[in-house]
């Protein structure tokens, strides 16, 4: 029997070449509920076994990160099927009305034919996280019932969603269209993070 914990950590994410892809904002660590699929598996496994106050480098392979690239996720469509008149390589679209619909990225434009890639931008990448484990505590009854941490700030604190949190869990890369991935997956953290408390609808 394992107890679910709320774990607080700060991180810098680099690719294998050492380029910084993402980092937790200064003074705003991420907090997540373990065992709830809120962050990528490989990172969670390491954090769960780390002691408070420790720093470590965690290398996450694709099978425990964002998965492998899948060529069947690449599709060519006519520009008339897209919600815009003009596209360029690097643009992102949400493939559907739902705010959690997958994000597709334009990788080629040829005449009116547009090639879209629905793979996660970090699929197939080895992810190198430098993490500082700041705090751990047992989850409260309420957090267990909700399936997410009720943090006092940082990621997963301000999402008004009952399914809980971000930090790279599953297909949760809404509103990160301009970045290189989801929460903890790269790019800007410019949405709803760090408001504090639980915004869920329970």
Which residues contact Zn ion by CB under 5 A?
A: 146, 166, 183, 198, 200
Shortest gap between Cβ of 176 and Zn ion (angstroms)?
7
Residue 58 structure tokens: 């965690």
In 160-172, which positions are buried (b, 16+ CB within 10 angstroms) versus exposed (e)? Answer: ebebbbbbbbeeb
Our CB check for Zn ion shows the closer of 6 and 50 to be: 6
Shortest gap between Cβ of 146 and Zn ion (angstroms)?
3
- Spatial CA neighbour of 121 closest among 148, 143, 102, 98: 102
Residue nearest to Zn ion (CB): 166
Our CB check for Zn ion shows the closer of 67 and 199 to be: 199
Rounded Cα–Cα distance for residues 125 and 57 (Å): 16
Residue located via tokens 């005449």:
111
Our CB check for Zn ion shows the closer of 114 and 183 to be: 183
Shortest gap between Cβ of 198 and Zn ion (angstroms)?
4
- Spatial CA neighbour of 133 closest among 44, 35, 16: 44
Q: What is the dihedral of CA 82, 188, 169, 17, to 10 degrees?
A: 100
Our CB check for Zn ion shows the closer of 58 and 166 to be: 166
Our CB check for Zn ion shows the closer of 9 and 50 to be: 9
Shortest gap between Cβ of 183 and Zn ion (angstroms)?
4
Rounded Cα–Cα distance for residues 108 and 115 (Å): 5
Shortest gap between Cβ of 172 and Zn ion (angstroms)?
6
């Amino acid at each position: 029997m394992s107890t679910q914990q709320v774990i607080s950590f700060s991180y810098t994410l680099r690719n294998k070449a050492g380029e910084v892809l993402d980092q937790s904002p200064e003074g705003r660590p991420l907090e997540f509920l373990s065992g709830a699929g809120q962050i990528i598996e490989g990172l969670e496994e390491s954090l769960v076994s780390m002691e408070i106050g420790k720093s470590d480098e965690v290398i996450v392979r694709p099978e425990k990160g964002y998965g492998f690239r899948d060529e069947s996720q690449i599709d060519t469509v006519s520009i008339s099927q897209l919600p815009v008149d003009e596209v360029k390589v690097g643009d992102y679209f949400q493939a559907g009305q739902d705010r959690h619909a997958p994000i597709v990225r334009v990788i080629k434009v040829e005449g009116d034919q547009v090639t879209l890639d629905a793979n996660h931008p970090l699929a197939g990448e080895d992810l190198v996280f430098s993490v500082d484990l700041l705090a751990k505590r047992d989850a409260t009854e309420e957090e267990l019932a909700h399936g997410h941490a009720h943090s006092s700030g940082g990621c997963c604190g301000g999402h008004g969603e009952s399914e809980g949190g971000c930090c790279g869990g599953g297909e949760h890369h809404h509103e990160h269209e301009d970045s290189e991935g989801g929460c903890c997956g790269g790019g800007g953290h410019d949405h709803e993070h760090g408001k504090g408390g639980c915004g869920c609808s329970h």
